[in-house]
Amino acid sequence: MRIFFPHSTLINHYKSSDIYLNLSRIESFGITFIEALASKVPIISFTGKGANEIVKDKINGFLIKDNDVSEFVNKILQIKENKEILNNMQNNCLESIKKFDLDTCSNKLINIYENEIIKK
């Protein structure tokens, strides 16, 4: 048996959800965002470190400014009442995180190393 992190049970929780609600004011690594988006689950989050780098407002989720709880709730209701918004965001999730793909990141890093070696 191969074990993957995040564990498949966690991924199943994401996939069984319509949206990922993030109430943290800072998500410095953004791992939970990437996990949700990789599971095609749009995100609603307050604007802040991490969120503003991964969540694209109205593309793969909603970013709420100034810790506006009323607006946060409004966006939840908007998604609940309009499945087309949810479907569009779900379709954008995977595209929005391609730059975080392990192979892509590894190849970029290898290219940087190779270019530095060639310069020397």
Residue 81: which CATH number?
A: 3.40.50.2000
Domains in the chain, number: 1
- Is 79 inside any structural domain? yes
CA 115/CA 40 separation, integer angstroms: 35
What residues form DSSP beta bridges with 46?
64
- Is 1 inside any structural domain? no
* pLDDT for 3 beyond 70: no
Backbone angles phi, psi at 82, to 5 degrees: -130, 90
Backbone angles phi, psi at 11, to 5 degrees: -60, -40
CA 36/CA 82 separation, integer angstroms: 20
In tens, the pLDDT along 63-81 reads: 999 889 999 999 999 999 9
In tens, the pLDDT along 15-50 reads: 999 999 999 887 778 889 999 999 999 999 999 888
